[in-house]
Structure 1
Amino acid sequence: MMKQLAVAAAALLASAAIAAADPVLGTWQTEVDDGAFAHVKMQPCGQKICGTIARTFRDGGEYQSDTIGKMLVRNMEPVGEGHYEGKVWRPSNDKIYIGKIDLEGNSLNLRGCVAGGLICAKQTWKRVQ
């Protein structure tokens, strides 16, 4: 039992170290969608990456949306060379789409797709921190 616990702890630490070094981690600003934009905090969720809405803004400045704390980017898995695949949620229509991310420096190109990835809507997010 103790040996199994030690192996599990070592595996958890190794996956946390890998995820902690991932360049997509941090806070990103979305594009304006339906008159508002958000800051999304990208962080490890197990061995994958998830993004939670941390702050919301519109023309009048920051406001308290009911989407704060909700997961926008879900279970993104690194597939190599700054590319990720998983799911994304669009709050304005409450739908979940096939998600793809391409990281390019301080820009994150995010796509939400339907029809097996044939039809996609795109946003480019900018790194906040």
Structure 2
Amino acid sequence: MKALMLTVAFFAFGCAGSAQANELYGEWARGDGKARVQIAPCGADICATNVWVKPGTPKEDKGDTLVMSIQQQNEGVYAGTAFDPKRDLTYNLTVTINGDRMTSRGCVIAGLICRGIGWERIN
């Protein structure tokens, strides 16, 4: 689950320098300082790819990608599923963006195990 949250941030997809309020795409730093992700379109989905992982962080590597099938539900709120090909796991995922801050929450086992992680946009 920790690896999901790292990647989920996932993750920043795309246009960090010109990001508008509640923009999903771009580069994001995980709240614990152990990872950065790039979030960008990938085909019909959205991918969050680790672009930096703090040395010594277990089970996470630069280049790990989370494939998200999410749609905007409300202003700054996205929901759907995320697939982690490295671990062959699918998660229910909710991403909430408020300006330059993002929270990702992933759940497995029919929502019995959930974890959230905070992210900050890298400009």
Structure 1 residue 58: deviation in Å? 4.2
User: Structure 1 CA distance, aligned partners of 2:100 and 2:106?
Assistant: 20
The aligned amino acid for 2:38 is K
Structure number with higher helix proportion: 1
- Conserved in 2, the CA contact under 8 Å of 1:88 and 1:112? no
CA RMSD of aligned residues (A): 3.2
What does 1:6-21 correspond to in 2, within 5 Å? none
Runs of 5+ in structure 1 lacking a partner? 1-19
CA spacing shift, 1:122–1:56, aligned 2, 3 Å: same
Structure 1 residue 45: deviation in Å? 1.9
User: Structure 2 CA distance, aligned partners of 1:51 and 1:31?
Assistant: 16
Task: Describe the superposition over 1:51-71 as per-residue Cα deviations: whole angstroms up to 9, x where unpaired.
Answer: 111111148xxx9x9722221
Runs of 5+ in structure 2 lacking a partner? 1-18
Higher-RCO chain (CA-CA 8 Å, sequence separation at least 6): 2
- Conserved in 2, the CA contact under 8 Å of 1:50 and 1:76? no
Provide the secondary structure at the position in 2 that maps to 1:39.
strand
Q: TM-score, normalised by structure 1?
A: 0.61
Structure 1 runs (4+) greater than 3 angstroms displaced: none
Q: TM-score, normalised by structure 2?
A: 0.64
Question: Which residue of structure 1 aligns with residue 66 of structure 2?
Answer: 72
- Conserved in 1, the CA contact under 8 Å of 2:46 and 2:68? yes
- Conserved in 2, the CA contact under 8 Å of 1:88 and 1:99? no
1:44 to 35, 41, 66: 41
User: Structure 1 CA distance, aligned partners of 2:105 and 2:83?
Assistant: 8
User: Structure 2 CA distance, aligned partners of 1:73 and 1:126?
Assistant: 20
Task: Describe the superposition over 1:79-125 as per-residue Cα deviations: whole angstroms up to 9, x where unpaired.
Answer: 23211122164x7xx34422110111111110110233353101001
Compare CA radii of gyration and give the structure with the larger one.
1
- Conserved in 1, the CA contact under 8 Å of 2:45 and 2:67? no
